[in-house]
Amino acid sequence: MGCLRVNNQQRSNVNKICIVSVLLSIVLSGCVTGTVSVSGNKFKRDNKSFRIVGKGIDWAVQPEGLSAFKSLVRQDSKLGINLYFAYASPGLGKPLFVANGSGKPYSDEATLKRNSKYWDEVKERIDYANGEGITVVVANTFVDQRVFSRYGAGKVTDDWMETVNFIKDGIISKSVMFVPMSEYDEGSSSDRAASVNMSNETKEKVDDPVSLHPLKSSAKDIGVIDFVIHQGYDANRIKADLGHGKPVIVAEDQQAANNDDLKIKRFNEAEALGATYIFTGNNFGFSDKMKAFLKSL
C-alpha cells in the first residue's frame, strides 16, 4: 500500500512530471491518492468504488510529533488503512497537534494570526498521509467544548473556513473530507444552526465530501451533509441513514475499543449493511490479531 521510495534523481524526474500533471491528481511525492466523492450512499475515489478501511486517530495526543506520525502512516498504509478520521481541529478549541513542538495554531487568537510553523506541519502531515494512500477526514473541534460561546459563532466559522481554504489551496492533489463540527447533538439549537451554516459554507468552497458528526441525529435531521459519521455502533441507525441515501461511517465505537473480536465482528456487519466501520482505540498500533485481519481484507 505504501509509495515507492525513490532516490534524489528519480524524485527530481517525478516532481517534474507531477508539476505538469497536477490536474491529474499526482502528488509531489510521486503517489496518487485520488479525490473522494459521494455517489448515492457510496464513497468513490477518482470515480471508482472506494472500499474504506479506516482508523480513528487523535493527533492531538501524539507526544512524539511529526517523525512518529510519519512512521505510523507508513505502518498503517502497509496494513491497508486508507482513511484517517482525525478527532480534533487544526484551529480554535482543541488543536490538532498540541504536542508536536511547532507551537499553537495562532500566535494571536484574537486576530487569528497564524503560526506559520504549525500550519506548515498541518500541510506536511496531510500531504504525507495522502502520499501513502490515506485520505484524511479533517474534523473540527467539538460543540461540547463550548466554542461558540467562548469565541462567538462568527469567529469559529471564520477560523474553520480559514482552515478549509488553507487545505483547499495549499495542498496539491489533496484527498480529504471535511467535518465542520463534531458532537453536533451536544450543542444548543443556535450551536446546531451555526454548525449547519458552517457545513453549507464549506460545501460552497469545496468539491470534497462534507459531513457533521452527530451523536444521535440522523442524516435526514441534519439535511445538508454528503455523508454521516456516527458515534457508536447501532445497526438500526445505520440502516435508517443508508435509507436516506447517505454513506455512513461508524466511528468511536467505545464498546469495542479494547475488544478485537467485537471490532472485527462489527466491521463485517457494517460492511454487510453497506456502511463503513472505523477502527477505534488503536491510536498508535494494532494487535497481531488485528494486523492479520487487516491483511486478509
In a domain, 243, yes or no: yes
The reply to whether 229 falls in a domain is yes
Domain count, the chain: 1
How many Cβ atoms from other residues are within 10 Å of residue 255's Cβ? 12
Threshold 0.85, pTM exceeds: no
Per-residue pLDDT tens for 100-145? Answer: 567 777 888 788 888 888 888 888 888 999 999 999 998 887 776 6
93 near 181, Cβ under 8 Å? Answer: no
The residue-averaged pLDDT of 1-6 equals 38
* DSSP percent split of the chain into helix, strand, coil, nearest 5: 45, 15, 40
Please report whether residue 266 resides in a domain.
yes
Distance CA 133, CA 34 (A): 8
Q: How far apart are the first and last CA of the chain?
A: 12
Give the residue numbers spanning the domain of 88.
Answer: 8-296
Report the alpha-carbon distance of residue 219 to residue 198 in Å, rounded.
Answer: 16
By mean pLDDT, which of 2-11, 133-142, 217-226, 227-236 is the weakest? 2-11
Q: What backbone phi and psi angles, to 5 degrees, belong to 138?
A: -90, 110
Q: What is the CATH number of the domain that holds 20?
A: 3.20.20.80
pLDDT, tens digit (0-9, with 9 covering 90-100), for 164-213: 888 888 776 689 999 988 777 777 888 888 888 889 999 999 989 998 88
